[in-house]
Amino acid sequence: MGWFWGDNKDDPVKKLDPNLRDYLEHQGPSKYVPTTPIEPSKPGEPTRLPNKPIAASSGEGEEADTPQVPSASLFPDGRYAHLWKTYKPPREEEQTGMNGASRVVEKYKEHKDSVQRAAMENCALEQEALTFCFQTGNWQQRLKARATMCSEENGKFSRCFTTQAKFLQALGYAASFDYDPEREERIQMHADKLYHEMLDYEKQVKDAQAAGMEPPPLTSLFNPGNTAPQEVQAPKAEKLPAGFKPSKPWEQLSPHERELELRAHNAQLAQQQLYVQEASPFMKSQEDQRAKRQQRATSWFGETIGRWVS
């Protein structure tokens, strides 16, 4: 150790008591001795770490150290395996997490929205004409459009939307629980075709009446090839099915509109029956659980209070 007044080469530890010196050597920190030296790497190469020794272990230890990779995992090396264990595909999650009643409710809302959206798509030309009625023309035409609210274009669009929706309903558009885009597109195109066939027939009848001629023969829109003209005539108002409410008075509807109203009504009843079949297992389980609760409450509080509590 160097000092300002010279070098002192005597070791001060030698002057300590031997027992104290041994105690200090044992209490001091031990020197670090690496078990496996790290190989020096060349410039541009990553440093190589020593390999981890693999200890012989039983099969249980190996399974515990190496996590099993789920089939749905995106990481084959086992990363995030604990998170992928609880993963369920969307289809499986929908089937297991959604019961029959909630699925029916969601399907009913989806069906209504799908029918309205398809009807709007089929009536795109009528909607465009209504929009242009308010936005185009000179100031006199625009003033007339605002005064009459474009009654002619508005009437065409309103009838197109309501009638197209009934055609879609009658043909079973978006009624099935299994969605098929190609099938739904065919139904949408067929509904638009039937609507314009109905308009063409009405125009032919008006032209024939104006010319004093016989109207063209009446045929069914849904079964034009194998339906006789007399079968197209829908029953009278007193013979309508129970619960049927037409959109307009029955006498004011044309034969094709009457056929469409009945078809749409029957399709709606069939769809409701399908919904009931889908939700019946859930409803039965709810009734069974309610009966069990009522039975327990009746045994505890009596029949009157038990029924009211449950």
Longest dimension (CA), the chain: 142
Residues constituting the chain: 310
With contact defined as beta carbons under 8 Å apart, do 160 and 183 qualify? Answer: no
Cβ-count burial 91-129 (b if 16+ within 10 Å, e if not): eeeeeeeeebbebbeebeeebeebbeebbbebbeebbeb
**For helices 124-135 and 151-171, what crossing angle results, to 10°?**
160
| Residue of 181, 201, 215, 204 whose CA lies nearest to 260 | 201
Q: What is the dihedral of CA 183, 189, 193, 199, to 10 degrees?
A: 120
**Which H or E run includes 234?**
none
Residue-by-residue pLDDT tens, the chain, 310 positions: 455 555 555 666 667 777 777 777 776 666 655 555 555 555 555 555 445 444 444 444 444 455 577 666 677 777 777 777 676 666 554 454 445 567 777 777 788 899 999 999 999 999 999 989 888 877 787 888 888 888 999 999 999 999 999 999 999 998 887 888 899 999 999 999 999 999 999 999 999 999 999 988 888 888 877 665 555 666 776 678 888 888 888 888 888 999 999 999 999 888 888 777 776 666 666 676 777 777 777 777 677 666 666 5
Residue 220 and residue 216: Cα distance in Å, rounded?
13
